[in-house]
């Protein structure tokens, strides 16, 4: 399999406080609402909804909460008109950043993100300015625990995974984006639980920052982006120490 991935973008922290969990649930709720509106409320016939539900479960969102959001979306109680949009730019010292958003006000979101990038030594760029530095891949992360590495790898490859990596505390399974749902569901049937399961923008190469001010600004930029309710995911090629 491939070499060490230097995987740094997985948002898999277990010890989130209540405020962080609430923010994550708010972001996931938006994804569920949009998935229901685009493909219906039945996960059996809506693959995107199945994927978002799996993502929510990996983030420890209770099933009752998930079901309430689906019911609300299918009943058109929530009239917010969200759209998906990706913003691209450069952080300090040329770190490539993709910000995946879901917003009901494109102008507000663009203004907020431009402010963050400008304030912390970067700049918001045009669509496509950095996305060529990333590959879209399905990424499934399983906690290593007492699992047998060879067995997990064989199960992943049998399910259709394209690559497998073992790290100190986790196994990382990569898929082609079109195969992600099928691989995830096959592993679920084998009773695996996931730290994270979603389609990610994976950097082709990483940038290491040596200047302390750049490191501070990049960290702060990520914090500000994560704190924005319109931001769903942040992908970057900063190789954090």
Query: What's the CATH fold of domain 134-203?
Result: Alpha-Beta Plaits (3.30.70)
| Residue 50 DSSP symbol | H
Q: Are 217 and 92 in contact (CB under 8 A)?
A: yes
Q: Are 232 and 30 in contact (CB under 8 A)?
A: yes
Highest mean pLDDT among 9-18, 30-39, 49-58, 135-144: 135-144
The pLDDT, as a whole number, for residue 138 is 95
> Would you say the CATH fold of 134-203 matches that of 83-132+204-236?
yes
Give the 3-state secondary structure of residue 237: coil
pLDDT tier, 62 (very low <50, low <70, confident <90, very high otherwise): confident
How many helices (DSSP H) and strands (DSSP E) are in the chain? 7, 8
Calpha distance 84→102 (Å, rounded): 5
83-132+204-236 is a CATH 3.30.70.980 domain:
yes
Closest C-alpha among 168, 166, 161, 172 to residue 202:
172
What are the residue boundaries of the structural domains of the chain, listed by start?
A: 18-74, 83-132+204-236, 134-203
- In whole angstroms, how far apart are CA 81 and each of 28, 73, 74, 97? 15, 11, 14, 26
Whole-model pTM?
Answer: 0.81
The pLDDT, as a whole number, for residue 3 is 37
Give residue-wise pLDDT tens across range 185-223. 999 999 999 998 999 999 999 999 999 999 999 999 999
What value does the mean pLDDT take over residues 224-241? 90
Q: The domain 18-74 is classified under which CATH number: 3.30.465.10, 1.10.10.200, 3.20.20.140, 3.40.50.300?
A: 1.10.10.200
**Which tokens is 149 given?**
């590495």
| pLDDT greater than 70 at residue 79 | no
């Amino acid at each position: 399999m491939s070499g060490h991935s230097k995987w740094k973008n997985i948002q898999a922290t277990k010890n989130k406080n209540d405020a962080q969990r609430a923010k994550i649930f708010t972001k996931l709720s938006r994804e569920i609402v949009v998935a229901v509106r685009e493909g219906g409320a039945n996960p059996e016939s809506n693959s995107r909804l199945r994927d978002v539900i799996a993502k929510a479960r990996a983030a420890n969102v209770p099933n009752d909460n998930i079901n309430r959001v689906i019911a609300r979306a299918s009943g058109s109680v929530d009239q917010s008109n969200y759209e998906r949009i990706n913003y691209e730019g450069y952080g300090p010292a040329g770190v490539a950043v993709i910000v995946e958003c879901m917003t009901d006000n494109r102008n507000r979101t663009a203004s907020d993100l431009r402010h963050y990038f400008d304030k912390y030594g970067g700049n918001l760029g045009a669509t496509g300015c950095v996305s060529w530095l990333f590959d879209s891949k399905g990424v499934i992360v399983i906690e290593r625990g007492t699992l047998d590495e060879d067995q997990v790898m064989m199960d992943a490859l049998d399910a259709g995974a394209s690559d497998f990596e073992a790290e100190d505390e986790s196994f990382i399974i990569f898929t082609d984006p079109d195969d992600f749902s099928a691989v995830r569901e096959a592993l679920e049937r084998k009773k695996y639980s996931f730290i994270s399961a979603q389609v990610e923008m994976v950097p082709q190469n990483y940038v290491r920052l040596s200047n302390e001010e750049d490191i501070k600004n990049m960290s702060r930029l990520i914090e500000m982006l994560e704190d924005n309710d319109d931001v769903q995911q942040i992908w970057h090629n900063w190789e954090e120490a």
